[in-house]
Amino acid sequence: MIYFLALLPATALTVAGYIVLVVATRAEGSLRTFGRYLGFWAFTLAGLVILGAIFAAAHHHHDGRFGVRGGMHCPWRGGDQGPWPPGPLPPPQSAAPGGDRPTPPESVAPAQH
């Protein structure tokens, strides 16, 4: 949808650039040079509008809701995982008691004196 809406300003810029180039060919001196640059600038802007529309359409987030997360791209969240902003992070496993330390085998247990 956004791609079709971008066609209107892109078409207007293309027509304006063509008209400026036609008028510039009838001008003389520095006005001819300025008109040529202005026409090519209008064509460049029209192309950028189309590229921006393609980029926006490709990266549009179809969430179905509006608001803070409606159009937000959050690759680090991995989908719909609750409210925004997220709550505090859980502690890492290494901080849990005995989380990453293997228990020693009984044959290597320290001797008691």
Q: Would residue 103 count as lying in a domain?
A: no
Q: pTM of the full predicted structure?
A: 0.52
Task: Give the chain's domain count.
Answer: 1
Check if the beta carbon of residue 73 is closer than 8 Å to that of residue 61.
Answer: yes
Tens digits of residue pLDDT in 98-112: 555 656 566 555 666
Residue with tokens 């650039």: 17
Distance of alpha carbon 82 from alpha carbon 38, whole angstroms: 50
Q: Would residue 12 count as lying in a domain?
A: yes
Q: Would residue 35 count as lying in a domain?
A: yes
Tens digits of residue pLDDT in 28-86: 999 999 999 999 999 999 999 999 988 888 877 555 544 444 545 555 555 555 555 66
Tell me the residue range of the domain where 41 lies.
2-58
pLDDT computed for residue 110 by the predictor: 61
Helices and strands, number each (H, E), in the chain: 2, 0
